[in-house]
Amino acid sequence: TVRARIGMRAFAGTAWVLLVGLVAVWATAPERRQNVARYGPRLRDVPRVLLNDSGAATTIAFGSCSKHDRPQPLWELIADDNPDVFVFLGDVVYADRRKGLLRWTSNAPEVMAERFDAQLARADYAALLSRIPVVGVWDDHDYGINNGGASFAGRDTSQELFLDFIGEPKRSARRAQRGVYASYRIGPPGKRVLLLLLDVRYHRDDPPSVLRGARADILGAAQWDWVERELARGDHDLVVVGSGIQVLPRDKVLVERWSVYHDARERLLRKLLRQSAPFVFLSGDIHIGELSEMQCGSRRVVEATSSGMTHSWGNIFGRMWPYLEMLIPCEMRRGARFGGLNYGLLHIDWERQEMDVEIKGIGVYGESPVRIRVPFAQAGGEPEGVLGCVPSPDTALWERAFPRVFLALVCLGPLYAIIRVSYAILSSMKRGKAKLS
């Protein structure tokens, strides 16, 4: 019929227009055509300032947990502080995706590449790259899967994407190894910083059970050997260790931490305590800023955690944050926490032989920066052969006890209710039987 012929011609014409359009898009994107079969869009080449390792470092900035599609107001503040280098401590983007309230799943490689690319395309971040050298290591979300470890099948593709994002040279030895761990030596002899960035994902065993906890590891044999070699060179005056997850705290039961891998944590501490140079830990992951400290023999061991560059617990909960903050364990905490969007600064005073660690940013309801000063003589000194580490907080006893009491009540409350209800049911059944008899 006439109507059928008209309909067929309209359909054919529409299909032809769509086909021509698809061919045109494909033909005008040769670079995309070459790379899409591999891992998606090619990452953008952006102007970068390279790390100057010859001058003495006096300020190292650091931070973690940044979503590419959220406002990022901290880059301008970081640039104003004019650090010698900025260290990303993981979650440079969120390359995975949420699947339900508490579940995450990995994305296709091309989606991951687009998110790294989107971060590089941001004008505020590109402005920082043009002024400040940026180095870094990943954590779970830029690794490709929340809480991921060695069992993640896409880790090699993730490594390629991450190293492209961070600007690692194509022929770097870091691209040939398994994992993104790296070291940088900054400054001349006498004022030299050894920056060790640990990969806590690529080789990490699944969280240890009670039966296999002693054997569970985080770094893997090759990375442990690398740590040993870097420290054995002995040409450094200060060691800065970067980790995506916290090293010192042992009491945060709901977050990933080194203390879950007890033997691995002690092994790392022993390696650092057996060399005389002072050292400090930098970490991320927990979406707040805080300082932790413990005493190992005669030496102070300090960790600075900066997490939440685009989203933090203080910003999420607003006016409720000061009350909820009391529920977070604080066994080793020094000073107050910083609940707003935050980053960290490690100030090094080579003349006075001391370091000053500061967590700052955009506070929630007037939060002040958190800082701690540590003389080299207290963080370094004679090698400690035996671990005798104890927490060294400045928090009150009730502050340390309150989260544990609350957790106990939360756990025991439902159990007590179940016992009471069961007792009431049994008592009622007994009374019913007594009446029948």
pLDDT digit string (tens) for the chain, length 437 residues: 544 444 445 444 544 544 544 433 333 333 333 333 344 445 556 788 888 888 899 999 999 999 999 999 999 999 999 999 999 999 999 999 988 777 899 999 999 999 999 999 999 999 999 999 999 999 999 999 999 999 999 999 999 999 999 999 989 999 999 999 999 999 999 999 999 999 999 999 988 754 445 578 999 999 999 999 999 999 999 999 999 999 999 888 778 999 999 999 999 999 999 999 999 999 999 999 999 999 988 899 999 999 999 999 999 888 888 878 777 777 888 888 999 999 999 999 999 999 999 999 998 877 889 999 999 999 987 776 556 788 876 666 655 565 556 555 666 667 767 777 777 787 777 777 777 66
Measure the CA–CA gap between 246 and 82, rounded to whole angstroms.
Answer: 26
3 state SS of 109: helix
Alpha carbon 67 to chain centroid, angstroms: 12
Question: Which of 307, 360, 305, 308 has the alpha carbon at shortest distance from 332?
Answer: 305
What is the value of pTM for the model shown?
A: 0.83
Handedness of CA 284, 329, 70, 153 (dihedral sign): positive
On whether the CB atoms of residues 233 and 183 are closer than 8 A, the answer is no
